[in-house]
Structure formats: structure tokens, C-alpha cells
Structure 1
């Protein structure tokens, strides 16, 4: 039974908290203002209740007059609280804030004019009004409220002698209640203002930390980009002097791994039938083993095959999440992979592939870097192949000249044929070459 009663009390308390909780909006600043506004209205309701209790407790013989004065002084606040709560819960937070500040300022002015002018207990509350305006509606509202308060103070001081008698009797009870309310409000406003300053400083520190982090990220990107451009220039400079394909691919993969600490780097080139991507260069022991095995990938398969087929870079931050990824038992630590086509114009020559041993270890910045290098490799490969073709042509021409000279020096037809067969076999790389002669009989055929 007692447990049920406790649960019922908790439920009632939760309902009360839900009823008096401030509304929640999508805008963070709107939520802050509504929470503060809700707190102020509830705070003033509590102050009003305590004021009435003080009057009943200490009113004595002047209870009717004191009670009448308290009602006059607090009725505008009660009306304002109801209107502010309605507006705030309907989403008009800024309008509710301005209404709160305006009614609060007007009520202070009314209490000052009808309560003794500059000697009224409410006179010091003008400063509180400025603080509330700043907390709820910003600096501009605080400046406007401050200017109005200054004008009102000067005006009241100027007509102090002509002000009517206090509407609310100035007795000890009223003065104590007014002073208590003013001090309490001042303390609460000071607390709220200090908390707002602390929140602002916290946001500034957080923003500064984010800015510093963004600056570091940007600086790192600039550094990486500079390194990429520098490496690309170095690769271009070195590759321009390399005319051997095997040496070229070794140089590229080794430079990339050493410069950017990739887990593995290798190069594939399309075969003459353009059906297979044959590995021609790879780093480390795994690369040597794959080269010895003449490792190859069918065009269109895996990330390498996809890059060659689409002529577009393929970046996978987590290889375990890509169904097309082909695991390699020689590279068990691969967690992310990037395959960039080596293209000369629209023609794909091969694929430059890099791998990292961390999920997310390769980023779009690596795509830019590898693309720059792949472009240089494509040019270098074209130069190497062109040099190889020109060298072969020169060797054939030299062979033709040499054969011509030997043939001219031959004394018999048999010697001419021997020179021709030997030279052609050597030029074509044939293991065996021969010439078959058939004699022509009289009146017969070959």
C-alpha cells in the first residue's frame, strides 16, 4: 500500500514537472530564451505567493491596507505571467520576452510614481529590468530598456516634489516586503547573468576549440596537398628519365609507400587482349611473391577490375563492407583500399592500387594524390613503350643493313641463303629457321 502511495506521489510530481516545463523548439537559442522566461514567470509566481504570505503574517492592524497595496502591486505581474505563458507555449517566444520586459518596466515605473518617487523601494529595480531585457531579448533590448529607465529616473527626480501621495501606505511591513522582493530578484538576476556569461564563455571556448581543430585539419590538408604536389613533381622528374617498364613500376610503388607510409602499393597493367590486369610492380615481400606467381586479376573483378572497367577511382574505407572486394591472403591486414585507373586519354593502361591497415585510413585526399601520380605514370609508360618500339625498329633496321652487307659479300647462292636464314631467325627470335628449295625438272612442275 505504501509503495503504491509513493508511486502515486511520484506520478503526480512528474505530471506537475511536465506541466511547468518550458516548451521545446528546434532552435537552440529559442529553447534557451523559453527556458529562462519560464523560470522567471515561475519565480515571480513564487515571489507573489511569499509576498501575500508575508502580508498575512506581519500585516497586523494595517492588514487590509497592506493587502490592498500588495494586490495593486502584483496584479499586473499575474496578468503578465498568464499572457507570457500562453504566447511562449504557442511559439511566440520573442514576443513573450518583449511583453515580459515591457510589463515589468511599466510596473516598476507605476510603483515609483505612486510609491514615493526616487525614494520608492522599486526605484532600484530599473537596473534589474535592464538585466532581464539583456538576458531575454539581447543587447539592443537592454540598451533600449536602459535608455528608457534613465529617462524615467531623470523625469521622476525632476517632478519629485509634485508627485501624489503614495498609493500604497509606506509602513514597515510594505517596506520590508518590497525590500525583500527587490533583493531576492536582484540576487536571482545576478545569478542568471553570471550563468549566461559562463554559458557564453563555454560556447566561445567550444567554438575556439572547433576552430582550432578545423584550422589543424585545414593545415594538415594543405600539408598533404603540398606533399602530394611535391611527390608528383618528383615522380614526374624521375619517371621522365626511366624508359624501362619494370624499373618504372618498381620506382613508383616504392616511392609512394615510403613517402606516405601505405600498407601496400602495387601496379597492374592490362594485357594485350585487355582481358586481364597483370601485376607488374608491388612493395614488400608480398609484392615479390605475387610477381613471382605472375599474379593477375580478371578485368571487371574486385576493386582493381572495377577501376579499370569504369575508368574511375574506387575508394573503399572499410573493405569488409564492400561485397566486390577481393581479399588477398598475402595482405591480411588490409582494411581500406583505393584503386585508381592509369589512363592515357580515354584509354585505360592499368591500375595503381594502394592499401591501408586501418578502417578509414584512405580518404579523398589520397584519391587526389594517387590520381596525380597515376597521370604521371601513364605518360611515363607511353614514353617507355614508344622508346621500346623505336629501339626495336632501330634494331630491325640495323639487322637489315647487316644482312644486306653479308649477302653482298656471299660468293654462292648457298651462302646467301645461310646468311638470310640465320639473320631472319635472329631478328625474329626464332629457335629454328630453315629454307626449303625445290628443283624444277624439264617439262615438270615445282
Structure 2
């Protein structure tokens, strides 16, 4: 039995049926912005390995940091122990995240960082004697992860989580933001969020949202004023604001953090994915001093969470190298260059009968189709054009590494045009 046949029969891949799994392609190497397959194709990666590998693959600076740390120690427990990589990482993060954030909880995945944020918010109010504030509020159309608390604040009609609807805690949902990033703002957009807070703020611990980009829930880009108004409403109605920047953090939207588009700072910030440049799973939940102190003022007097691999030294060392590499590069220039190229190449596709619309911001591009995309067929077509792109639902999207050349961006966009023209959405 060859590798791919064994994989098909025994290994379960994400969002794939065990009865009729999607085709898998074996990667044998990766460098720069390219993946090499066992079948000898070399593909430009349009996904940054689910938005994480912002520097591409096999980067010598990050490799060296990983080697140096693993030769010292790969992991120690974080209970009662600290180490230089964690201290360095937390110092760096506090220097670059939005102002007002001061306490960092280092976890092991983006979904877990959301669980931690939700627990922080609920324990904060419980410690203040306000146990009735135990619900969350969030816009529809969002996605925050596949663990249970994260699912409960993701879009309740999303088919990814529909099977668990009766098991999940029920929270409050506002309509999804409708005004696009570049469109004219209208104050009616925020009215439904205000209405819910006016009626239920005494029950709501926190408002959680993805700043500027609702990512895996639909790749929707919305107006910065919506985010700004959410911050004001949270202040007015005594509700914490949690910003999930797992997808948008570290430059993806053209700002270092998407919150910066609206010049706001949350009470709790969640980071992951690009935190380590895609090398290793790690996340951070960062909160204000008020939240950190408030959580610990009542019983039990400590924050009740402690992942086994919290503060993993290898992850911290890699994250330090990745962030330093980003900050010392012309990341803004590269992201802007990619945005310009994506718009130039993809906007004309909006004229095609099968395409609903095209939208771009930073190193993000989305072609929304009128019908669902045949993933297996689409990927086969793209591979034939030297591109790795994974769509979902009606959405064909790109989030390439920031190191992509113009020629590599052209390869990705031409592959999309080729696959759409051949009729992948059917």
C-alpha cells in the first residue's frame, strides 16, 4: 500500500469525509513560497498554510532559532517555571499590540486562546460578584474555532457546527456587518448591536468579534467604523471587548493588527497562526491589567486554566524569530504590493457570470462564486497551473506569504481564472 492509499484509508484530514475523502497530495519539501509534491510538481502556496506561514517555508533565520532552542531544551512546564524565550516574546508582544494590554497568557492553539478569552471574561464578572453576566455577544458570520466555547460564538447557522447546535451554550447574535471596508459608513449599521446591548447588557460578559475580516465564516471585509462603534458600545454598557486577531494579526490586512484600522484597543486580544510564522502551534491571549486583576479578586483567586504546553520554549523562540523577521522587513510595502497585484489581476473576474463579487484588502483576496466550488476539481485544475489554493463553499480566496514575488502572485491569480473559466463552481 503506497503512502496516499494508506492516508486515504486511515488518516482523517480536516473537514473531510471518512467515507469519500477529498484527494490529498503528498508534500516532500517546502521552501520560500513553494511546496514540492511527491509527484514532482512545484506549487506556489496561496494559503500560507492556513494563513500562518507569512515568511514562507524553511526560512534560515527561523530555522536557526529553532535549532538553537532545541539544543537547549524543547519544553518545560510553565507552572512555577519561566524562561528567556517566553520573557522575550511577551516583552515584544507588549511593545507591538494595541495600547492598554499588559498581561499575556501563552497557550497552544488559536481555538484554545478563544476558550481562554471567554473564560477570562466570565470569571472577571463572577469575581466582581456579577455572575449574571455569563453570556457572550457576537456578530453573525463569524468563526472562532472548532472547540466548544469557540463554536458557541461562531455563526450558529454555519454548517460546520450545525450538528452541535443542541449541545452548545446559547449566546446573543447580532446581524453580520454589511457595509464593506471601502464603502460609505451609515450609522444604521450599528443599531442592531446597540439594541441587543440595551436589552441584555446585564447578562453579557463580552462582545467577541474578528476585527475587519470575518475570516473562515465567509471572508467578509467590513467597515472600520463598525469596529470603532463596537468599542464605544462596550464602554457604554459595561461589557468587555474580545478581538480575535488569529487570522488578521501580524500584518495580514495591511496593518500590524486589524484593530489599528479603527484605532481601538480591546480588553482581551487573541493571537495565533502567524505568531510563529507557521512553524509550530502557539497562541496568546492578552488582556488589560483591569481584566487580569479583576479575574483574581474573587474566589478562587487564580485564573482557572493551564495548558500542558503553555509557554512552550521552542514555540516562544520561533515566535521571537518570526516577529523580529517581520518587524525588520518591509512587510507593509510587501503587503501593499501584493494587494495592488491581487486587485489588478482579480477584479476583472467580477464580470464573469459565475462570480458574485471580488474583494481584496492587504494580502487577502476573495472571489465569491454564485455556486459552491467543487474543491477536488478546483484543486486539480490549480495544481496543473502550479498553484496550491484551497477554497470552501462558494469562496475562492488567497492569503499568500508576504514574500511572494509578483510572478508568484500572477501564478496564483491565473490559476484561479483558469479554474473558474473551466467551470469549477458547479
Give yes or no for TM over 0.5: no
Normalising to structure 1: TM-score of the pair? 0.21
Whichever structure has more strand as a proportion of its residues is: 2
Normalising to structure 2: TM-score of the pair? 0.22
Q: Which has the larger radius of gyration?
A: 1
The one of the two structures with greater contact order (alpha-carbon pairs below 8 A, sep at least 6) is: 2
Whichever structure has more helix as a proportion of its residues is: 1
